[in-house]
Structure 1
Amino acid sequence: MREDIVGVDVGKRLMRKRKPVNVKSFSIVHNAIMFFSSLYMVIETLRQAANNIGWGHSHGGGMWGNVAEAPGKPFSRSGQRLANVLYIHYLSKAYEFTDTLIMILKKNERQITFLHIYHHATTFFPCWWAVMNFAPGGDTYFTCVVNSSVHVAMYGYYLLSAAGVKIPRAVKKSITSMQLVQFAMFFCHALYGALYATHYRPRIIVVLCLWQAVVFASLFGQFFW
């Protein structure tokens, strides 16, 4: 997170005596990439999770409580495919720093809040870094699908706005509401893992997810209010 803060500060200093950059075309391309990649991740993660967890089979898994394949051991074919799409989701968290770059170039410094920096920085590391190194499977699909679904709506909104389409203000508020619902779902999932699914390993990831869900819900709730 410290590196992200330093990068933002350097960017602000470089733009201080310069005029805002016209990034309309760049924003459209960026938001289109995020919209379609998020849509892909929703569909592909569900498809691979269904295969790996065994939904629809007599002894298939459920929404939660599915054991991740043991780290350090060879993946099954379906486990490898699920891990691959989750890794794409992990990499997308690094690419999302482009949001901040666009804000810096446009000199929209009021948008670069603590919430924005904390959200982008800690989601990439340590959250998804830890997940991909220790538990790239099992119930991890749930977080990816829910988050990517919200991003389909969010970046779809950004894409249309960047293209000059006028969108009702209520749509923007509904997206923030979706984010709050998302964190409530993450909290319930992490709480279930902390209290009932004692097979989750390592336990520190469950605690980390629980903590992040509470912090994000608090910060986004304050923003919404």
Structure 2
Amino acid sequence: MASIIKHVFSNYNEFLETSKDPEIDSWLFMGSPTPVLLIVIAYLSFVLKIGPKMMEKRSAYELKSIIILYNAFQVIFNIWLTKQVFNIHLLGVLTTDTCNNKLPVNSKLNTSISAAGWWYFFAKITELLDTVFFVLRKKFNQVSFLHVYHHTITAFFSWCYLKFLPGEQGVVIGFLNSFVHIVMYSYYMIAALGPEYRKYLWWKKYMTWLQLIQFGIMLTYLMFTLTTDCRMPKALTYFFLTHVIIFLYLFSNFYRKAYTKPKKLQ
């Protein structure tokens, strides 16, 4: 067992050295996997164990003003992230025939994509607060497997992408996800304003449609990269494909339970 662990760490260190980017390594949380792993572990510990135990004999926190401000921030932040994608010329990135995972070191495009990638990763870290607020408000029914799995995976693998494979193939996924989050956090912000605003939230189920369409496009794009001369490792592409398929299944299952089953029971 000890030899297996030693072998894994040896291979990781070798891979880390060959894919090292001094500029990216100097950015917050990017020097090693330790910070992001600690954040994810702390997140899972709090939302699954510590938080529910802490709130067991406490009244739910209101947090209305904080949640409205938080959702407003996420809307503005994701609008800004979407704008960054247009700043790096999305159409030109999509029509490239090389699908580089490493552009020239001094490339202006490379710097722009990597910087946008870090802010996207940072957005995924801030979004972990979604679940923290659920716990503090004792909305434990919303701390579902889908919710926790989605937040955990996107936070960790946005770090992995930026650390090991910054390049134009991540622009599509970042753009789609940021756009969907503009809609999603707009909904949450309106919902947080109070019951009198619920009449404006008739489009709730269409958010799930939008998320499913997002994953469908991601799936198509990742399959496309497998058929082109893309330097992105095939194993990693298959790994991303697997998780996109899992998300498709989980969100489809959520939609079926939330919007299809109740109609059949009436």
The normalised TM-score by structure 1 is 0.88
Q: Report the equivalent of 1:44.
A: 84
Identity score, percent: 25
The normalised TM-score by structure 2 is 0.75
Q: Report the equivalent of 2:207.
A: 175
**156-165 vs 167-176, greater mean Cα deviation:** 167-176
Q: Report the equivalent of 1:145.
A: 175
Asked whether the equivalents of residues 69 and 135 of structure 1 are also in contact (C-alpha less than 8 Å), the reply is yes
Q: Report the equivalent of 2:51.
A: 11
**1:109 and 2:140 are equivalent in the alignment:** yes
Correspondent of 2:62 among 13, 17, 22: 22
Say if 1:116 and 1:186 are closer, same or farther in 2 by CA, change over 3 A. Answer: same
Structural mapping, 1:92-107, within 5 Å:
92-107=123-138
Q: How far did residue 219 of structure 1 move?
A: 0.4
Correspondent of 2:224 among 192, 196, 212: 192
Higher Rg of the two aligned structures: 2
Provide structure 1 residue ranges, at least 5 long, that are not aligned to the other structure. Answer: none
The DSSP-based 3-state class of the residue aligned with 2:89 is: helix
Q: Report the equivalent of 1:203.
A: 234
Q: How far did residue 6 of structure 1 move?
A: 2.0
Q: Report the equivalent of 2:22.
A: none
Asked whether the equivalents of residues 127 and 151 of structure 2 are also in contact (C-alpha less than 8 Å), the reply is yes
Asked whether the equivalents of residues 69 and 79 of structure 1 are also in contact (C-alpha less than 8 Å), the reply is no
Whole-angstrom distance in 2 between the partners of 1:169 and 1:158: 9
**What count of residue pairs does the alignment treat as equivalent?**
214
Say if 1:69 and 1:199 are closer, same or farther in 2 by CA, change over 3 A. Answer: closer
Q: Report the equivalent of 2:7.
A: none
Whole-angstrom distance in 2 between the partners of 1:178 and 1:222: 15
**1:86 and 2:117 are equivalent in the alignment:** yes
Asked whether the equivalents of residues 187 and 201 of structure 2 are also in contact (C-alpha less than 8 Å), the reply is no
Asked whether the equivalents of residues 115 and 219 of structure 1 are also in contact (C-alpha less than 8 Å), the reply is yes
Whole-angstrom distance in 2 between the partners of 1:79 and 1:203: 21
- Structure 1 residue identity aligned to 2:225: G
- Aligned-residue Cα RMSD (Å) equals 1.9
Say if 1:61 and 1:123 are closer, same or farther in 2 by CA, change over 3 A. Answer: closer
Whole-angstrom distance in 1 between the partners of 2:181 and 2:124: 11
Q: Deviations along 1:164-189, whole A, 9 cap, x unmatched? A: 22245541100011001111111111
Asked whether the equivalents of residues 146 and 250 of structure 2 are also in contact (C-alpha less than 8 Å), the reply is yes
